[in-house]
Amino acid sequence: MIQNLLGRKKKATRQERILSEIDRLISWKKLAACAETCLDEAPDCIRVNRNSLESLVRIEVLHRCFGISRSDLMVTGSETPEQDGATALCDSRPVLNEDDVENFYKIIADCSKQDEIINELGAQLAKVGVSLKQPVSLSPS
């Protein structure tokens, strides 16, 4: 649970509980490995920090597949919640700026390998009995 300034535990919001559960089920490292080939295809004028790749993939997948806004998923330095045993929403993820997120969105939109990311996501979710109801695309709609 998140603690407020007075030391009281605050009940996690619905979105925090959902994100924590998704983070528990999905291997962002495997999805980031799939997305790494997209960075190699990207034009030289569009670059992102490879150290942020896992966080960037997480933001884009959660935005496209689960409808969570990118701004809600951005981590700022002051938003590191303490949680009791649960996966922290901000646990050791690098702080991202809007340019990195926007550049990654452009890279993924033009990537010929984006189906590999979706297939890996589907395989991971299938292992726990969850399936995506509709075909998912990381391309702009």
Average pLDDT over residues 21-26: 90
CA distance 51 to 115: 22
More confidently predicted of 28 and 67: 28
Distance CA 75, CA 59 (A): 10
Measured CA to CA, the distance from residue 105 to residue 49 in angstroms comes to: 13
Domain map of the chain by residue range? 13-127
Q: Is the whole model's pTM more than 0.85, yes or no?
A: no
pLDDT band at 133 (very low <50, low <70, confident <90, very high): low
CA-to-CA dists, residue 110 to 6, 41, 135, angstroms: 48, 9, 18
The pLDDT-based confidence of 29 (bands split at 50, 70, 90) is very high
The model's pLDDT over 48-61, given as tens digits with 9 standing for 90+, comes to 888 888 989 998 88
**Whole-Å CA distances, 21 to 15, 36, 50, 77, 89:** 10, 25, 25, 22, 10
Residue 93 amino acid letter: R
Q: 76-106, pLDDT tens digit by residue?
A: 443 434 433 333 344 455 667 788 888 888 8
Name every residue whose Cβ is closer than 8 Å to that of residue 1 and which is 6 or more positions away in sequence.
9, 10, 11, 12, 83, 84
